[in-house]
C-alpha cells in the first residue's frame, strides 16, 4: 500500500508520531489511508453543503475497513466570478486544483481517494488528478439545485441574468429585478440546468468514475447522502481489487462521454475538459472526434438552457444518465463494454434501468434533431476550430452574415450593448479573451444573457476566443483558435468586416481576401498583458490553445 511509505517500519517512527498527535490510533495506521477530498466552502452554493457528504463518505470508508482522512480543496463559483476580473481565474484554477490533489495524495502516501466536488472546474480538475495519480478513486458530487419559482414560472439562474436586459429595456422595474434575484436559486446545489457543472457531473457516470445517480440526484435528497456513504464503501473494494482510474477511462469511454454530451446538448466547456482529461490519461483524443460524433449522434434530451428544456430534477426522474445511455445503446452509439467503479460494465448498468420517460428522454428514432447539440466549426476565422452549443441557438440564427462589431475585452462589449450601440444583424467579436490573452479564457454568461434579455437573441451573433457558460443561450461561437493573443485571424478583424457562418455546414468565415489578411498580419502587434502579477502570467506562459483543451505544458 502507498501508506506504508508513511506508516510502516522503524524508520517511520516520527511519521507515526505526527498521526498520533492528531488522534489516530495504531489500529488506524494498519488500515488503508483514504483521502476524502472535500471542496466545501462558504462561497459556492454548489459546495456549501459538501461537509455532510464528506461525513457520509467517511462513515462508508470506516465501515469498509479503511481510515478516512479529510483533505481541503479550493474552488471558485463561476457565477459570482462572472463579468469582472474574477473570471480570469476559474479555468486557470482547474490546474491548481489538480496539482493540489496530486500534491496532497503523493506527499501523504494515500491509498485511495473519494473526491467530492460539484461545480464547473472542480469536477474536471479532480478527474484529471485521479488519472494523473492512478490510485483507486471515486467521485461523489454535491448534486443539482432545485429550480426556483417566480410568478408561477419555473426558473433558474439564467432568468436573473436575462432580467438585466429586461430592466434596461424597461420591461421590469427595479423591485421586480430584486424579486427575481431572490427567486431563482432556492438553495444549495449546482445550478439547475444542464450547465457545465451538471454536464461534468453526469459525465463522471459515463466515464465510469462515479456510481449511478451521481450526475442527477438533487442536492436536497437524502439519496444524495446515501450515495456518498455507498461511495465510501465502494472505494474500499476498489482498493482491495486495485482498480484504478486508468483501468476505467479509455478512449472508448471518452467517446461515450462525447456521445452523451451531444445527445443532451451539454455545455461547450466539456470540449476543453474532456480533452484535458484525455491528456492526463495519455489518450489521443482530437477535437475532430467531437465533430465526427456530433454528426451522427442524435439530440434526444432537451434541457435548460435550451428553449423549452427541462431541468435536472425532471431529468433525474425521467431516467437520468443511464436512461440516455440506454437510448443511445439501442441505436448503437455507445461502447457499452466499458467498466465502472460500480463493479459493473455500462451494459450491465443499462440492463437495470427501469421505465424511461420518453417525453423527456426521447428514443433515437424520434430525436429533436438528427445531429448532436454541439458543433465544431472551421474556416478562415477559426483555422484550428471554434465551438458552438447548437442546442441553445435559435433555428433562425443557424446561418447568418453581418458586420463585425469588434471589442478587445468583454467589458467593452457589455458597455456597448447596454448603451444601445449594437444593432440587429451585427456580429459581436470579443477577442483577447482566450487562454493566453484573457488570460484564463473568461466565460461570458453575463453578455449572452443580456443579449437575450434585450430581445436580440435571434438577431445578434457573438464570436470570441473566450468561452461561454453552460447556461449560455443564442448564437454564441467560442473557443476560436488560434486566439488573438497568438496572432490568430480573429486578431485581424476590423470594424464593419463581414462575417458569415453556417452551423449546419460547420463553417465560419471572415469575408476578407487572403491578401488583405496577410497585410493586416504584417502590421499586427499583440496587446500588452492584461495582468502582470501573480499566478495568471505564469499560467499564460504555459497554457496551450483551446483547440487542445487549454492544458498546461512545461516549456
What is the per-residue pLDDT for 469? 78
Is residue 471 predicted with pLDDT exceeding 80? no
pLDDT bracket for residue 373 (50, 70, 90):
confident
Tell me, yes or no, if 385 is annotated catalytic: no
H/E stretch holding 465 reads none
Torsion 96-122-274-529 (CA) sign: negative
Residues 6+ away with beta carbon under 8 Å from 515: none
Is residue 225 predicted with pLDDT exceeding 60? yes
Q: Distance between the two ends of the chain, CA-based, in angstroms?
A: 34
Is residue 98 predicted with pLDDT exceeding 60? yes
Q: Compute the distance between CA of residue 148 and CA of residue 173 in angstroms, rounded to an integer.
A: 20
What is the per-residue pLDDT for 136? 98
Torsion 544-263-203-91 (CA) sign: positive
* pLDDT tens-digit map of 276-307: 999 999 999 999 999 999 999 999 999 988 88
What is the per-residue pLDDT for 555? 57
Q: Which of 469, 481, 541, 545 is catalytic?
A: 469
Partners of 387 in beta bridges: 376, 478
pLDDT bracket for residue 315 (50, 70, 90):
very high
What is the per-residue pLDDT for 116? 98
Is residue 139 predicted with pLDDT exceeding 80? yes
* pLDDT tens-digit map of 148-176: 999 999 999 888 888 888 998 899 999 99
pLDDT bracket for residue 114 (50, 70, 90):
very high
Partners of 155 in beta bridges: 148
What is the per-residue pLDDT for 205? 98
Q: How many CA atoms lie within 13 A of 389 on its CB side?
A: 31
How many other CB atoms are there within 10 angstroms of residue 63's CB atom?
A: 12
Q: Compute the distance between CA of residue 385 and CA of residue 117 in angstroms, rounded to an integer.
A: 30
What is the per-residue pLDDT for 392? 85
Using DSSP, state whether 38 is helix, strand or coil.
Answer: strand
Grid coordinates representing 18 are: 505526527
Q: Compute the distance between CA of residue 370 and CA of residue 107 in angstroms, rounded to an integer.
A: 49
Give percent above pLDDT 90 in the chain.
88
What is the per-residue pLDDT for 97? 98
What is the mean pLDDT of the segment spanning 405-427?
94
Q: Compute the distance between CA of residue 263 and CA of residue 293 in angstroms, rounded to an integer.
A: 10
pLDDT bracket for residue 269 (50, 70, 90):
very high
Return the exposure string of 352-374: e unless at least 16 CB atoms fall within 10 Å of the residue's CB, then b.
Answer: ebeebeeebbbebeebbeebbbb
pLDDT bracket for residue 13 (50, 70, 90):
very high
Is residue 83 predicted with pLDDT exceeding 90? no
Helix intervals (H) in 218-268: 222-241, 245-248, 251-264
Bond from prior residue into 553 cis (ω within 30 degrees of 0): no
Least confident interval from 48-62, 71-85, 94-108: 71-85
**103, 117, 176, 205 from 98: Cα distances, Å:** 9, 12, 41, 19
* Contact predicate 301/206, CB 8 Å: no
Query: Is the model more confident about 453 or about 504?
Result: 504
Amino acid at each position: 500500500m502507498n501508506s506504508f511509505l508513511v506508516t510502516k517500519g522503524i524508520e517511520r517512527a516520527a511519521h507515526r508520531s505526527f498521526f498520533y498527535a492528531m488522534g489516530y490510533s495504531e489500529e488506524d495506521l494498519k488500515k488503508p489511508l483514504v483521502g476524502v477530498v472535500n471542496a466545501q466552502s462558504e462561497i459556492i452554493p454548489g459546495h456549501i453543503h459538501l461537509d455532510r457528504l464528506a461525513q457520509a463518505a467517511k462513515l462508508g470508508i470506516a465501515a469498509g475497513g479503511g481510515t478516512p482522512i479529510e483533505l481541503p480543496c479550493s474552488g471558485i463559483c463561476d457565477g459570482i466570478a462572472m463579468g469582472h476580473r474574477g473570471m480570469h481565474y476559474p479555468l486557470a484554477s482547474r490546474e491548481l486544483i489538480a496539482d493540489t490533489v496530486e500534491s496532497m495524495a503523493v506527499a501523504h502516501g494515500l491509498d485511495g481517494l473519494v473526491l467530492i466536488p460539484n461545480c464547473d472546474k472542480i469536477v474536471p480538475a479532480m478527474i484529471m488528478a485521479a488519472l494523473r495519480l492512478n490510485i483507486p478513486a471515486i467521485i461523489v458530487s454535491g448534486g443539482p439545485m432545485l429550480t426556483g419559482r417566480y410568478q408561477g414560472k419555473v426558473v433558474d439562474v439564467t432568468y436573473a441574468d436575462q432580467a438585466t436586459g429586461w430592466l434596461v429595456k424597461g420591461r421590469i422595474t427595479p423591485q421586480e429585478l430584486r424579486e427575481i434575484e431572490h427567486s431563482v436559486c432556492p438553495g444549495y446545489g449546482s445550478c439547475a440546468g444542464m450547465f457545465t457543472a451538471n454536464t461534468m457531473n453526469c459525465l463522471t457516470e459515463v466515464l465510469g468514475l462515479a456510481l449511478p445517480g451521481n450526475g442527477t440526484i438533487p442536492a436536497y435528497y437524502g439519496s444524495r447522502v446515501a450515495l456518498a456513504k455507498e461511495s465510501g464503501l465502494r472505494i474500499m473494494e476498489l482498493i482491495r481489487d486495485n482498480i484504478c482510474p486508468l483501468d476505467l477511462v479509455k478512449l472508448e469511454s471518452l467517446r461515450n462521454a462525447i456521445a452523451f454530451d451531444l445527445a443532451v446538448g451539454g455545455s461547450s466547456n466539456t470540449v476543453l475538459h474532456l480533452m484535458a482529461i484525455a491528456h492526463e490519461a495519455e489518450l489521443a483524443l482530437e477535437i475532430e472526434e467531437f465533430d465526427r460524433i456530433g454528426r451522427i449522434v442524435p439530440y434526444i434530451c432537451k434541457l435548460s438552457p435550451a428553449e423549452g428544456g427541462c431541468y435536472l430534477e425532471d431529468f433525474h426522474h425521467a431516467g437520468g444518465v443511464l436512461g440516455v445511455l440506454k437510448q443511445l445503446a439501442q441505436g448503437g452509439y455507445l461502447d457499452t463494454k466499458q467498466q465502472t467503479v460500480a463493479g459493473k460494465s455500462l451494459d450491465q448498468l443499462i440492463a437495470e434501468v427501469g421505465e424511461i420517460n420518453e417525453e423527456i428522454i426521447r428514443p433515437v428514432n424520434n430525436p429533436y434533431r438528427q445531429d448532436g447539440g454541439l458543433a465544431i466549426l472551421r474556416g478562415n476565422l477559426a483555422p484550428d476550430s471554434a465551438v458552438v452549443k447548437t442546442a441553445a441557438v435559435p433555428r433562425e440564427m443557424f446561418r447568418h452574415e453581418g458586420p463585425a462589431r469588434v471589442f478587445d475585452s468583454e467589458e467593452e462589449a457589455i458597455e456597448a450593448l447596454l448603451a444601445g450601440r449594437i444593432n440587429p444583424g451585427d456580429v459581436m467579436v470579443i477577442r483577447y479573451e482566450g487562454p493566453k490573452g484573457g488570460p484564463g479564457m473568461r466565460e461570458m454568461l453575463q453578455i449572452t444573457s443580456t443579449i437575450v434579455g434585450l430581445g436580440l437573441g435571434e438577431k445578434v451573433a457573438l464570436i470570441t476566443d473566450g468561452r461561454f457558460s453552460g447556461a449560455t443561450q443564442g448564437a454564441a461561437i467560442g473557443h476560436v483558435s488560434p486566439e488573438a493573443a497568438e496572432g490568430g485571424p480573429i486578431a485581424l478583424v476590423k470594424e464593419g468586416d463581414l462575417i458569415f457562418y453556417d452551423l449546419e455546414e460547420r463553417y465560419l468565415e471572415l469575408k476578407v481576401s487572403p491578401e488583405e489578411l496577410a497585410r493586416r498580419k504584417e502590421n499586427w502587434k499583440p496587446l500588452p498583458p492584461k495582468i502582470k502579477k501573480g499566478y495568471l502570467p505564469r499560467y499564460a506562459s504555459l497554457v496551450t490553445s483551446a483547440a487542445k483543451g487549454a492544458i498546461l505544458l512545461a516549456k
